[in-house]
Amino acid sequence: MHDVFMDGTDIGDVCVPESEVNETNIAQLIIRRFKNIAWPDSNLVVQPPKGRTLVNFETNFYTLDSVPIDQTVTVANRQVVIRAVPATYTFDFGDGAVTTTASPGHPHPDLDVTHVYERVGKVEVRLDTTYSGEYRIGNGDWVAIPDTLTVAGESQDLQILEALPQLVIR
């Protein structure tokens, strides 16, 4: 049983003799499989931790989920390794500001994805990861997948607080 495509659109399934399966059909099936695999979202880390930060303070954002992920599948009776490679990260800071970067960010002190909140309040922050892909059939060469896939991350609550200075007499 094989998927049937017409002009790049899946129009159904059909039994096709193995001798009639070609590389174009297999590539289309692999691309479809790439899009249908449940690739993981990236775990967003916020510093300072515990869901709280300060207004007018650089809040740091990053993920440690930055390595390629391989899934082995069978397509047209062939063993195929499909690899999802994190290509870009879209950090949604919850206050209308969004930034997309190739960097996953880094823990303190290497602050390269930061945001300064201008108002006290509560926001929902999120990290979406866009994967590029590649595949190889058996032990063959890696072939780039021409499409990307974005996986939306889980939203996290972040409370933006104000710190007030207080004089202490000693």
Set out the domains of the chain in order of their start, with CATH numbers: 39-161 (2.60.40.10)
Q: Is the pLDDT of residue 12 over 70?
A: no
- The Cα–Cα gap between 89 and 152 comes to 10
149 and 84 Cβ atoms separated by less than 8 Å: yes
d(CA 119, CA 163) in angstroms, rounded, equals 12
pLDDT at 5 over 60: no
The pLDDT tens digits of the residues spanning 36-87 come to: 999 999 999 999 999 999 999 999 999 999 999 999 999 988 999 999 999 9
User: Is the predicted pLDDT of residue 20 greater than 90, yes or no?
Assistant: no
Q: Residue 151 is encoded by which pair of tokens?
A: 């996986």
pTM: 0.82
Q: Which residue would you say has higher pLDDT here, 152 or 16?
A: 152
Average pLDDT for residues 142-149, to the nearest whole number?
A: 96
Amino acid at 138: G
Q: Is residue 142 predicted with pLDDT exceeding 80?
A: yes
